[in-house]
Structure 1
Amino acid sequence: MQEHPIRWFITAPQACPYLDDREMQSLLVDPAVSLGGRRFGQLLAEGFRRSGQFVYRHHCACCNACVPVRIPVRAFRPNRSQRRCLSRNHDVTVTLTRPPDQAGPGPTADLDEHMPLFSRYLSSRHTGGGMEQMGREDYAGMLTHRNGPVDLIEFRHADRLIAVAVTDRTPQGLSAVYSFFDPDQPRRGLGTLAILTQVVHARRLGLHYVYLGYWIAQSPKMEYKTRFQLLEGRVNGTWEQLAANR
């Protein structure tokens, strides 16, 4: 089957949400084009991300601070802190589900169950940023795209939902789209648990990478990504190992 050519768009400059006094632009794939899983996976390997129906890569004229990063699944080994996280969560049950509009085997996620946790997380972590206003329709849009399956990994303790990891699946690897969790259980390290579980999921599927989006050295909020060694970053068009912050 002949692949449709990709049309590209560049967004207008806007204030950078990560670094003060800088502007951001993004290179967008025409959302009307159906890439398919293989081409979408190739774009992930070139540093692209998905947000809703948009596949994009930051394309800033005077800044290259955003570094796409990924975990090589075969080489990754959890460090001592991550092993403690796994031990603390030995009583958590993990279930793989799919969005309601996605056909396939396995159970379908109950978005009505997800929404209270999603809203609590946004209120705790994204106050004043606009995301706290996201409703059920916005959340459902996050789970739907035309370029391949979305896996929802649910975490429960005593039958109560405490975390969800939204993951795009491609023939080359998984892409961690978004995770949300109970903000009242910080000791569990549920964000770390979500990434470790996606690594295990990728390994079971025989995939090579888990893509974690962008890392910015100047952003303390993104420092956690360098703890997943041997982390790779795409620098000047080439994937290379990034040193851990110790």
Structure 2
Amino acid sequence: MLEKTNPILQMKFGVTQRFPCNYLQGEEEQLLVCMSPSEELPQVYGNLLNNGFRRSGEQLYRPHCAHCNACQSIRIMVNEFTYSRSQKRILQKNKSLTLHERHDERDDYYPLYESYINQMHADGTMFPANYEQYANFVRCQWQQPIFLEARDEGKLVAVAVTDQVEHGLSALYTFYSPDYQARSLGSFMILKQVALTKDKNLPFLYLGYQIDECRKMNYKQKFKPHQRLVNHKWLIYR
């Protein structure tokens, strides 16, 4: 067990065993996990996010691989962000959708999630979807997420699950209707989270980890300018 002294709290960390990497074939993955009591986590969440951690369900973690540093935390500088031509086309393509910011779940979220996982990610570790998996992934007792939903004439077509901390939003996960795959809803929901971050007068939108060697993760680097956490320093990429 590792311990780190904080001006307010003494934070505790644990290291997981190694397991096959979900992103790079042939590699092993290891995580550094925050083990502090859940009642303390709201006080340290923003600081941990700034140091490369991420939330999944109740857990705060970051990669801790001995021989690999491919995972780089990435965050969009929303006040300097500029739309590319393709991003402008995505916005235009989806201009008929209506967006709503919610702070509680709706009954139609899980059916959309189930359809998304089972049809779009049948080759992934989350297949097949089930309700317990969804609840453990999305819900958190110590942090109330924001649900940014997109609807097409009332029909739910996408949900972006987002956390708010003192210096930004953290985009946790987006799921959407497979019927709308051609409309690039994943990128569309990131663009809308950029707008939401600006509306809240916050400087950063965290996107999790950028992995250059992983095709599924490369879309994140298209949002510029952004910063990446490299050797404990945030570097700007334009």
Report the TM-score, using the length of structure 2 for normalisation: 0.92
Match of 2:159 among 164, 170, 190: 164
Rounded to whole Å, the distance in 2 between the matches of 1:64 and 1:234 is 11
1:97-246 pair list within 5 angstroms: 97-99=102-104, 109-110=105-106, 112-242=107-237
Rounded to whole Å, the distance in 2 between the matches of 1:220 and 1:79 is 20
- The Cα shift of 1:147 comes to 4.3
Residue 64 of structure 2 aligns with which residue?
59
Rounded to whole Å, the distance in 2 between the matches of 1:71 and 1:184 is 28
Cα distance per residue 1:164-197 (max 9 Å; x no partner)? 0000111111111000011121221100111001
- The Cα shift of 1:134 comes to 3.3
Rounded to whole Å, the distance in 1 between the matches of 2:40 and 2:148 is 24
Deviates more, 1:147-156 or 1:127-136: 127-136
SS at match of 2:39: coil
Rounded to whole Å, the distance in 1 between the matches of 2:40 and 2:198 is 24
Rounded to whole Å, the distance in 2 between the matches of 1:145 and 1:4 is 21
Residue 11 of structure 1 aligns with which residue?
16
Residue 71 of structure 1 aligns with which residue?
76
Matched, 1:94 2:99: yes
Deviates more, 1:164-173 or 1:38-47: 38-47
Rounded to whole Å, the distance in 1 between the matches of 2:178 and 2:147 is 19
Alpha carbons of structure 1 residues 120 and 31: separation in structure 2 relative to 1, 3 Å: farther
- The Cα shift of 1:127 comes to 1.2
- The Cα shift of 1:4 comes to 3.6
How large is the Cα RMSD of the aligned pairs? 1.6
Query: Which protein has the bigger strand share?
Result: 2
Alpha carbons of structure 1 residues 148 and 21: separation in structure 2 relative to 1, 3 Å: same
- The Cα shift of 1:149 comes to 2.9
Rounded to whole Å, the distance in 2 between the matches of 1:238 and 1:61 is 19
Task: Determine if contact 1:24/1:60 at 8 Å carries over to the other structure.
Answer: yes
- The Cα shift of 1:39 comes to 1.8
Q: Percent identity?
A: 36
- The Cα shift of 1:32 comes to 3.0
Structure 2 unpaired stretches of 5+: 1-6
- The Cα shift of 1:208 comes to 0.9
- The Cα shift of 1:138 comes to 2.6
Residue 35 of structure 1 aligns with which residue?
40
Q: Which amino acid aligns with 2:110?
A: M
- The Cα shift of 1:216 comes to 0.8
SS at match of 2:23: coil
Task: Determine if contact 2:91/2:188 at 8 Å carries over to the other structure.
Answer: yes
Q: Which amino acid aligns with 1:30?
A: M
Structure 1 unpaired stretches of 5+: 100-108
Report the TM-score, using the length of structure 1 for normalisation: 0.89
